[in-house]
Amino acid sequence: MSIAIFDELKNYVGFDENDELRMKSLGPVVSPCLPEVVDRFYETILRHPGARVVFGDVAQVRRLRVSLLDWLQTLFCGRYDAEYYQKRSAIGRVHVRVGLPQHYMFGAMEIIWQSLKEIIYAADIANPREELASLHKLLSLELGIMLEAYKESYSEEIRRIERESMHERLTRAEHLAEIGQLAASLAHEIKNPLAGISGAIQVLRDGLARDDGRRSVLDEVLRHIARLDNTVKDLLVYARPKPVRVRECELNRVVERVLTLIRESPDAKRVVIEYIGDRHFPMIAADENLLEDVLLNLLQNAIHASPPGARVIITARVADGFAELAVEDFGHGMDEAVQRRAMEPFFTTKARGTGLGLSICQQIAAAHGGVLHIQSRPGAGTTVTLRVPSRGNQERDRVSP
């Protein structure tokens, strides 16, 4: 709270020069009784176990008694200017530093108010109601200063956390950019030689007799080359995303083409794939090929996570201006730690894989102005949902970030 805000608060509660004079005149009346107020304050507050923990040992309470007495005496100084405000703010910051919970501020102020009110009513004052009204305003100002100190402290802590988080994100982004560039360079250098090796081995294999035992060895080599080729493709797609070409497309066609492609794979035959969707979807504006890439990736993840015979459910719908594609499995699921990192580039829990699949899906979702959402529970399975605007919210031929 700045002094300007303090002045504004004084105007708000109506604390004026007359109140200042009344408070100053109360000083000689209440000063002899202030040590009793301090005794009553600590006698009351230390009855609570939580307070005893906060206020610490006997030596600390002794120091706090001296501070409270000084605070009470200053309360009736009659001058409530910038110097007064600065001193009160410093006290509030001390309360924050020692970890005094905010709710003790309210309780403490109520104890002080009741004690001072009894003293003023017992004194020989012509019209105590006016003095009490001025005192109540001042205690409200005091409470405002204290609570503002807490707010400033919490705000500063939030800013500190945000700065650290932003620095961490920037550092990670820089590292990932460097890794992405390196990956793209390596992938480019590997891809062509890999194609040449694959072609040469196929020629050697085809030149062998059908019953030659070396054919199975060469088939295994080709499978490993295919796996390396897929890894290289993932690296290139992540480092150099495809441009998003928004066209009219139909969700049903996206799902049917992916199902036609994946159902013949050996892994897909281990599970039961079900599709839930309307036969007649409205046309949406999206990149059909990229949506297929996302669905294929999500399906492959779901299949790998599922036990034999389990169901994998694809759900598609268009509603409220958004198109949704969801893939649900009933496999091992993810705990919270894995779920938080699941879309990080190069993060994977698999023995094999680049850890780029969900990162690429997230890129595609973001390029469409949409989101990729993961919902998972350990032992219960995982649902990953792609949600993108169905029409008019995307730029045409835009490159994904």
Question: What whole-number distance in Å separates Cα of residue 244 and Cα of residue 236?
Answer: 16
User: Does one domain contain both 354 and 274?
Assistant: yes
User: Does one domain contain both 224 and 359?
Assistant: no
Question: What whole-number distance in Å separates Cα of residue 165 and Cα of residue 141?
Answer: 36
The structure tokens listed for 6 are: 């303090």
pLDDT at res. 126: 80
Using a cut of 0.75, tell me whether the model's pTM lies above it.
no
pLDDT at res. 398: 43
Q: How many CB atoms lie within 10 A of CB 381?
A: 22
User: Does one domain contain both 205 and 268?
Assistant: no
pLDDT tens across 250-271, in order? 888 889 999 988 887 888 889 9
User: Does one domain contain both 154 and 8?
Assistant: yes
User: Does one domain contain both 128 and 252?
Assistant: no
pLDDT band at 197 (very low <50, low <70, confident <90, very high): confident
Contacts for 258-262 with beta carbons within 8 Å, 24 or more apart? 258/292, 258/295, 258/296, 258/299, 259/314, 261/296, 262/296, 262/299, 262/300, 262/303
> Phi and psi at residue 355, in whole multiples of 5°?
75, 25
pLDDT tens across 354-389, in order? 678 888 899 899 989 999 999 999 989 999 999 999
Region 2-21 average pLDDT: 86
Q: Which of 239, 256, 274 is the last residue of a domain?
A: 239
pLDDT tens across 43-84, in order? 887 777 766 666 666 777 788 788 888 888 888 988 888 888
Q: pLDDT above 90 covers what percent of the chain?
A: 23
**Nearest one of 234, 239, 242 to 301, comparing CA atoms:** 234
Q: Which domain holds residue 355?
A: 243-399
The structure tokens listed for 3 are: 């002094």
Range in 177-181, 218-222, 321-325 the model is least confident about: 177-181
pLDDT at res. 307: 92
The structure tokens listed for 63 are: 């120091």
Question: What whole-number distance in Å separates Cα of residue 79 and Cα of residue 228?
Answer: 79
pLDDT band at 401 (very low <50, low <70, confident <90, very high): very low
pLDDT band at 396 (very low <50, low <70, confident <90, very high): very low
pLDDT at res. 183: 64
Range in 123-137, 140-154, 183-197, 291-305 the model is least confident about: 183-197
Give the CATH number, domain containing residue 189. Answer: 1.10.287.130
User: Does one domain contain both 302 and 382?
Assistant: yes
User: Does one domain contain both 208 and 340?
Assistant: no
Query: Considering its fold, how many domains does the chain have in total?
Result: 3
